[in-house]
Amino acid sequence: MRAVGRGFRWPSNLGIAALNELIVRLISPAGVVGFALEAEKHRWGLMNNVTIPYVIAMVVAFIVFDFAIYLQHVIFHAVPALWRVHRRHHADLDLDVSTGSRFHPIEILLSLGFKLAVVCVLGPPAAAVLIFEVVLNATSMFNHSNFRIAENID
């Protein structure tokens, strides 16, 4: 049983997701992937200045990005000022797929800046960044969904 119906929550959650997308596109029109292409063009970051096999670069970049976003999440929970921003995500009255996109615009800006910094330092292949962003968003939606799966699969 839901505390509040989707008809009330989804317009708010999806509206904030749309606002966040607009903000990101204004700040970084091509997003983190486009920034990775620029980093490659200008040889910013470690991976753009060493010779390693492409497949290894892809795997290492994915793992580093995953760890970086995990670290960012831990920091948002640990630092009181950041928690005040992040708790908007946790304040949803019910947990469903829309919760995975319910973030304060300040958190989105901070996260974008953090990802751009990782790109500058690491210099990952743009394809790895694209794959990571798709997987991150898909798993966020799945992890926050209320989709039931069989116990033996779970």
- Distance CA(129)–CA(125), nearest Å, equals 7
At 56 the pLDDT is 98
Global pTM value? 0.86
Q: Model confidence over 84-135: pLDDT tens digits? A: 999 988 888 887 888 888 888 999 999 999 999 999 999 999 999 999 999 9
What tokens does 59 get?
């795997």
What tokens does 79 get?
């630092």
Nearest Cα to 121, choosing from 31, 56, 51, 61? Answer: 61
CB contact burial 124-145 (16+ within 10 A = b; e otherwise)? bbbbbbbbbbeeeeeebbeebe
- Count Cβ atoms below 10 Å from residue 17 Cβ, excluding itself: 16
At 1 the pLDDT is 60
Identify whether the C-beta of residue 71 lies closer than 8 Å to the C-beta of residue 117. no
Question: What is the residue extent of each domain of the chain?
Answer: 6-144
**pLDDT(75) > 90:** yes
**pLDDT(21) > 70:** yes
